[in-house]
Structure 1
Amino acid sequence: MNLILEEISKQNRVVFKKFFENHYKDLVIYANSYLFDKDASEDIVQEVFIYIWENADKLKIKSSLKGYLFTMVRNRCYNFLKSIKITDRYEFLDFNINLITEHVFDSTSEEDKKIVYHQILKIVDTLPDRMQQVVKLKFLHNYKYKEIAQELGISVNTVKTQLRRAKLKITDMVTVILVLLQTRQ
C-alpha cells in the first residue's frame, strides 16, 4: 500500500495536510480546465480529498496516487457536466466561455486576466473561419443560436456543434496559458 495512503488511513492529519497542500492547486486548475467554474472546481477537488480521507484504508491503487487523484477529479468533472447538461443542455457552453473571459480566476491579478483575455481573442482568431464567425457572433455580439444560424445560413445544430468544437479548442489553449501563468508566480 502507498505510504501516504497508509498514514492517511491511520488518520495522520499532518501527512494528509501536506498531501492536500502538494496537490490541491494543480487539481483545481485541472478541474477548472473542464468546468470553467472556480467554485465548482474547488468543490470537486475538496470532495476528492474528503473521499481519500474517509476511504484511504479501502483504496487499492495500482498506478500512482497522483494519477489516481487526477483521474478521480476528471471523472467527477464529467459527472458534474452530465448533471448540468440534463437541465441546461446548451447554455452551459455560454456560461463557460463567459466565465473564462470575465472571471478567469478570482486570485489572478488584473494583468494576468488581461493577458488571458487577449490570448483567448488570439485563439478565436486561429479558429477555422466559420467557427470563428459563430464564436464572435455568440460571445462578442450576444446573438442567439437561431440568429447566428439565420445570419450565416446554417442550421441551429451546426451552430451548436461549432460552439462545442470551439470550446474544446479554447479550453485546451487556455489551460496551457493558465498553467504557465500559475508557474510564473
Structure 2
Amino acid sequence: MTEKEFRTYFRDLYPQLAQYATRLLGALDVEDVLQGTFLELWNRRDDISTAAHVRAFTYRTVYTQSLNVLKHRAVVNRYSAAVVDMENKTAALLSPDACDVAFNMACKELSNKLTNAIEQLPPKSKEAFTLSYLHDMKNKDIAQEMGISVRTVDAHIYNALRTLRTKLKLTDLNTD
C-alpha cells in the first residue's frame, strides 16, 4: 500500500469508522481509537493487499480497540468505587460518633458528674437513692433497712432525683 492509497482509505473510511466507534464507545475516546486503528493499518500496509481486506481490517481493529477501552473503563470504575468505599469506611471509623475512645471518655465524664452530684445529696436522700438505684433494692426493703416508712423513702428518692436533675442540667450548661 502506498502513501497515496493510505490517504484515500483514510479519507473514505474515517467517517464510517468514527460513526461505528461512537456507537460502541459514545463520544469519549473515539479519536484515540481511530488514530490507533490507522496507525496499525499503516504499520501493516505491506501485509494488506485488497480494499476489502483494508475495510475488514479497520472495522475489526476499531472493534478490538473499543473493547479494550471499555474494559479499561470498567477497571477504572471498579477502582474508583473501591477507593470511594474505602474512604467512606475510613471516615466512618474516624467519626467521633463511632470512636470508642470518645464514647468511653464521655461515659466516664458523665459518671464522674453523677458521682459528684450524688455525693452532694443530703445523707438520708443519698442513702435511699443509692440503695434504690445502685443496689436495686425495693422501697419496702430500703424502709426496713433505714428504719423509716416507705412513704419517707419515696420522698427521699423523689428529692434526690429532683436535686440530681437540677445539678446535672447546670453542669451541662456550664460545659457547653
Q: If the length of structure 2 is used for normalisation, what is the TM-score?
A: 0.40
Larger Rg: 2
